[in-house]
Amino acid sequence: MATYNWEMYLGSAWVDIEANTLVFSGDPDDLSIAINVDEFNSGTHLGSNDPGTDQCGTTHKYNIKYASNTQFFGGTSTTAEVISNTTLATTEATIRLKFVDTSAVSITTGYFFCFDGVAETVEAVGVHVYAIEVGKANTTWVEINKDSDSIGGNNSGERLDLASQTTAATDHYFYLAITAGPETYGPKTQFDFGVALTYS
């Protein structure tokens, strides 16, 4: 039987998000500060709800912010860096997807996508989102949601294709950098992430 866990690197270890929520905010220290319209996150947090109270502990999550199609702002830096395996470490990834099976399996295809939380093929409402798989020599952000252009959901060309993992194992890990921002004012309640894996 396969299980999935969403994990966040906090302090010095990966921790299970469990019932908490990945929160993007406009401040590196305060998850309640809204992101300006047509800008991207200056903070990434673990919240008890949407957003609820901060569950990061003493060390906030490393923030990754869109700068250009090939660049990002890391942490609180205002200097853009080129995306590479050297500049973006796996421990700096926004989340880690942990896949566990009781039998050793290989992952042949995988997709990470953004959707409205109800129908997996429908884009999230009012948000603009980019993602990249970290540690796989990727150098360009992939746009996985832009509501104003009807981009998003688990659809070809509107999701992040994950690298196959052909070596059979009981545990597989995917490291994902994500950056998000609002296209409109107000809370974003129809905004979620999903993953689809094919394994054998």
SS (H, E, C) the chain: CEEEEEEEEECCEEEECCCCEEEEECCCCCCCCCCCCCCCCCEEEEECCCCCCECCCCCCECCEEEEECCEEEECCCCCCEECCCCCCCHHHCCEEEEEEEEEEEEEEEEEEEEECCCCCCCCCCCEEEEEEECCCCCCCCEEEEEHHHCECCCCCCCCEEECCEEEEEEEEEEEEEEEEEECCCCCCCCCEEEEEEEEC
Residue-level pLDDT at 58: 84
pLDDT digits (tens, 9 = 90+) for 46-103: 999 888 899 998 888 999 999 999 999 999 999 999 999 999 999 999 999 999 999 9
Percent of the chain with pLDDT over 90: 92
pTM for the predicted model, two decimal places: 0.96
Residue-level pLDDT at 178: 98
- Name the domain count of the chain: 1
- pLDDT exceeds cutoff 90 at 11: no
Residue-level pLDDT at 96: 98
Domain membership of residue 42 as a residue range: 2-199
- pLDDT exceeds cutoff 80 at 1: no
Mean pLDDT estimate for the chain: 96
Residue-level pLDDT at 50: 85
Which pLDDT band holds residue 41 (cuts at 50, 70, 90)? very high
pLDDT digits (tens, 9 = 90+) for 116-146: 999 999 999 999 999 999 999 999 999 999 9
